[in-house]
A = this chain, B = another copy of it.
Amino acid sequence: MKLQSFINGNWIDGTGETVELMSPVTGEKIAEYSSDGYDVKSMYEYARNVGGKNLRELTFHERGRMLKSLAQHLMEKKKEFYPLSFQTGATKIDSWIDIEGGISTIFTYASKSRRELPDEKIWVEGKMEALSKHGTFVGQHVCVPLQGVALHINAYNFPIWGMLEKLGPTLIAGMPAVIKPAPVSSHLAEKMVRVIIESKILPEGSMQLILGEPGDLLDHLGNQDVVTFTGSAETGHKLKSHPNIIKNSVRFNLEADSLNCSILAPDVKPEMDEFKLFVKEVVNEMTAKAGQKCTAIRRAIVPKHLMNEVIDAMKERLAKVKIGDPNDENTRMGSLAGSRYVELVNQKIKLMKESLEVVYEGGEKFDENLAFVNPLLFKCDNPNECSVPHEVEAFGPVSTVMPYENIDEAIKLANMGQGSLVASLFTVDNEIAKQFVLGSGSYHGRIMIMNRDSAKESTGHGSPLPHLTHGGPGRAGGGEEMGGLRGILKYMQRIALQGHPTTLSYVCNQYINGAKQIIDIVHPFKKHFDELKIGETYITHRRTVTETDVVNFAGISGDFFYAHMDDVAAKESMFEKRVAHGYFVLSAAAGLFVDPSPGPVMANYGLEELRFIRPVYIGDTIQAKLTCKQKTAKETKEGMVPQGVVEWYVEVVNQNNEAVAVYSILTLVKRKNSKV
């Protein structure tokens, strides 16, 4: 198997030295490639000028549909990846997390981008900011894609997931990616890129792959580029402080391994479910992916009086872990990703043994040319004084158990890790959970609180999810990935737009309060989705609110609240006299603006940000103003009437033209070409 890089639209061989990939499981050669010899600068130029340009021509929804097709395609092809994954030492479950976890991240971004972003090229972020008294000068944050290239430097442990969790947000943002996989698992990364490229789903230039370690990888990056790095802190720090990265303020998102912890809370007793859940989770996180997880539990922090019981329970579970051929369904733990990692893990274990006591060490003997290792559990009786378990990480099936006296001490120990990707807490006492979040929260990117009620559906301590941020402070690198739309922002520039609301409405393709309104002779409910213009406004006839209305409305709704019905109490209230029901104002406004005949408007299915600003008294005369605020075409499924969502801004005013209520309503409106 000869691997190639995908550069400037072509699969090519490097001209540098040959790198051979050896199976950690069998010791046989599995692939080789010639590294380096590529023109990195031209690769970046191609990404920016071809890929970036192509991607920026699409809207967020178009990019989302593209990712959906891609995820569907990859799911169909998923069986092709498993045999290559076994060759990285990963068991079936490990591989499932890598392969299907990665693809499902793409699915999530495909869906989130279509649900939570507009069908536009500009993302209107947050609310309009009023900056002036008369409203002729306002502010609005928007986000646009960076015009550069995203360099993804991936770790060896999750070659597929690590690639796709970066690729999803990058492509949704509208940026092209250059992917540099870790050498040891690059056969699997290359396969994934090949399947993606062959699918022809992504536009030209959106994705390139570079095998090898070109020395000038960072030299050609500029102010519009991004580096997203996952790997060792040492390498990460070196790259992050590269003069060119600093000089051009190139965004650098760093995710490094950290000494994540799990805490058994002081309220948990050995007979409780949470005790068993804790032991199970720690052992699982030690042995899954042979402990090569940046989120693995390295520190198990337990009440002092339960130390022995916890250790005994862990030992019992650890002894049952079957180590061996990842192809074998019974195997619980495969090998490390390569034989060189055995050496690295053993070095760290040696260092740890100087300060820590071994309480469990698996005794299996393995061929020295392969990458199998035994799980190892340490104990540290003086974790307040000993820095080793908080600083030294053996990136394999290795963990340390340590005692605490009270919750404050547990928090202190958790924080001694100096920043981690994730901490977990096993407790049924929600007050302890709150104390932990307040006392230790700023040291972790994610905190999982586990009890018997959440355990069954939990995705576990070790699993980053596309909906939630992944990354942590300090030792974890200070980066942040995913987290839904938050991850997309890493590849976009936020701009504070200022100007007249009419101008900003046009730029944002969304009505902004104060913008010019367009009045047409045709009722807007007579118009199809495609005919409606942003800013189009309908001003209704008026209606005087009578006592009869208030009384009748109370009768129909059943709402006899004193402010509407009780002269005496209303007089003493903040209203000073009886007022119409707010929901009557809302209902009467609909009566004013609704066009009764069948027409393009199919339904009003939602309402947002309603505020009753002034009371409506008996005798007041109300009028509604309905303005087309935003339009989003819906994807039409088989048998569905082509339609779109139209959001209307509604202002109800009184006889003095003072607003009494403002809100937005959401309607479904037919497309012009719909037959029905």
Q: Is there contact, CB below 8 Å, between A502 and B430?
A: yes
Which of A74-82, A554-562, A647-655 has 4 or more CB atoms under 8 Å from chain B? A554-562
| A363 vs chain B, min Cβ distance (A) | 36
Q: Is there contact, CB below 8 Å, between A499 and B419?
A: no
A178 at the interface (CB under 8 A from B): no
| A467 vs chain B, min Cβ distance (A) | 4
In the bound complex, residues from chain B placing their C-beta under 8 Å from that of A641 are: 574
Q: Is there contact, CB below 8 Å, between B467 and A131?
A: yes
Q: Is there contact, CB below 8 Å, between A467 and B223?
A: no
| A574 vs chain B, min Cβ distance (A) | 6
| A133 vs chain B, min Cβ distance (A) | 7
A349 at the interface (CB under 8 A from B): no
A347 at the interface (CB under 8 A from B): no
Q: Is there contact, CB below 8 Å, between B611 and A605?
A: yes
Which of A10-18, A376-384, A449-457 has 4 or more CB atoms under 8 Å from chain B? A449-457
A493 at the interface (CB under 8 A from B): yes
Which of A182-190, A206-214, A587-595, A626-634 has 4 or more CB atoms under 8 Å from chain B? A587-595
- Per DSSP, chain A at the interface is mixed
A447 at the interface (CB under 8 A from B): yes
Could you tell me the distance between the alpha carbons of A559 and B498 in the complex, rounded to whole angstroms?
Answer: 40
Of A478, A596, A605, which is in contact with the most chain B CB atoms at under 10 Å from its CB?
A596
Interface size range on A against B: 35 or more
Q: Is there contact, CB below 8 Å, between A419 and B139?
A: no
Q: Is there contact, CB below 8 Å, between B606 and A610?
A: yes
- Give A561-588 interface residues, CB cut-off 8 Å to B: 561-563, 565-566, 569, 572-575, 581-584, 586-588
In the bound complex, residues from chain B placing their C-beta under 8 Å from that of A470 are: 496
- Give A651-676 interface residues, CB cut-off 8 Å to B: 663, 676
Could you tell me the distance between the alpha carbons of A549 and B497 in the complex, rounded to whole angstroms?
Answer: 49
Q: Is there contact, CB below 8 Å, between B507 and A430?
A: yes
In the bound complex, residues from chain B placing their C-beta under 8 Å from that of A496 are: 445-447, 465, 468-470, 483
CB nearest neighbor in B for A496: B468
Chain A interface residues (CB < 8 Å from chain B): 56, 121-122, 126, 129, 131-137, 139, 141-142, 144-147, 222-224, 237, 240-241, 243, 246-251, 254, 415, 418-419, 430-431, 433-434, 437-438, 441-451, 453-454, 456-459, 465, 467-470, 473-478, 480, 483-484, 492-500, 502-504, 506-507, 543, 549, 552-553, 556-563, 565-566, 569, 572-575, 581-584, 586-588, 590-592, 594-598, 602-612, 641, 663, 676
Q: Is there contact, CB below 8 Å, between A500 and B556?
A: no
Q: Could you write out 23 A-B pairs with CB less than 8 Å apart?
A: A56-B438, A121-B438, A122-B438, A135-B457, A136-B457, A137-B454, A223-B474, A224-B443, A249-B419, A249-B473, A446-B495, A449-B504, A469-B494, A470-B496, A480-B494, A556-B556, A556-B588, A557-B588, A573-B602, A574-B641, A583-B590, A607-B610, A610-B610
Q: Is there contact, CB below 8 Å, between A418 and B223?
A: yes
In the bound complex, residues from chain B placing their C-beta under 8 Å from that of A248 are: 418, 474
Q: Is there contact, CB below 8 Å, between A249 and B254?
A: yes
Could you tell me the distance between the alpha carbons of A477 and B248 in the complex, rounded to whole angstroms?
Answer: 8
Answer whether A449 and B559 are a contact pair too, CB < 8 Å, given A141-B483, A441-B142: no
Could you tell me the distance between the alpha carbons of A437 and B144 in the complex, rounded to whole angstroms?
Answer: 8
In the bound complex, residues from chain B placing their C-beta under 8 Å from that of A442 are: 144-147, 224, 492-493, 495
Q: Is there contact, CB below 8 Å, between A663 and B596?
A: no
Q: Is there contact, CB below 8 Å, between A557 and B590?
A: yes
Answer whether A587 and B598 are a contact pair too, CB < 8 Å, given A223-B474, A608-B610: no
Of A135, A561, A663, which is in contact with the most chain B CB atoms at under 10 Å from its CB?
A561
Could you tell me the distance between the alpha carbons of A465 and B609 in the complex, rounded to whole angstroms?
Answer: 25
In the bound complex, residues from chain B placing their C-beta under 8 Å from that of A136 are: 453-454, 456-457
Could you tell me the distance between the alpha carbons of A562 and B603 in the complex, rounded to whole angstroms?
Answer: 10
Q: Is there contact, CB below 8 Å, between A441 and B144?
A: yes
Q: Is there contact, CB below 8 Å, between A586 and B586?
A: yes
Of the candidates B243, B415, B430, the one whose C-beta lies within 8 Å of that of A506 is B430
Could you tell me the distance between the alpha carbons of A558 and B584 in the complex, rounded to whole angstroms?
Answer: 11
Of the candidates B493, B500, B602, B608, the one whose C-beta lies within 8 Å of that of A609 is B608
Answer whether A574 and B587 are a contact pair too, CB < 8 Å, given A141-B483, A506-B433: no
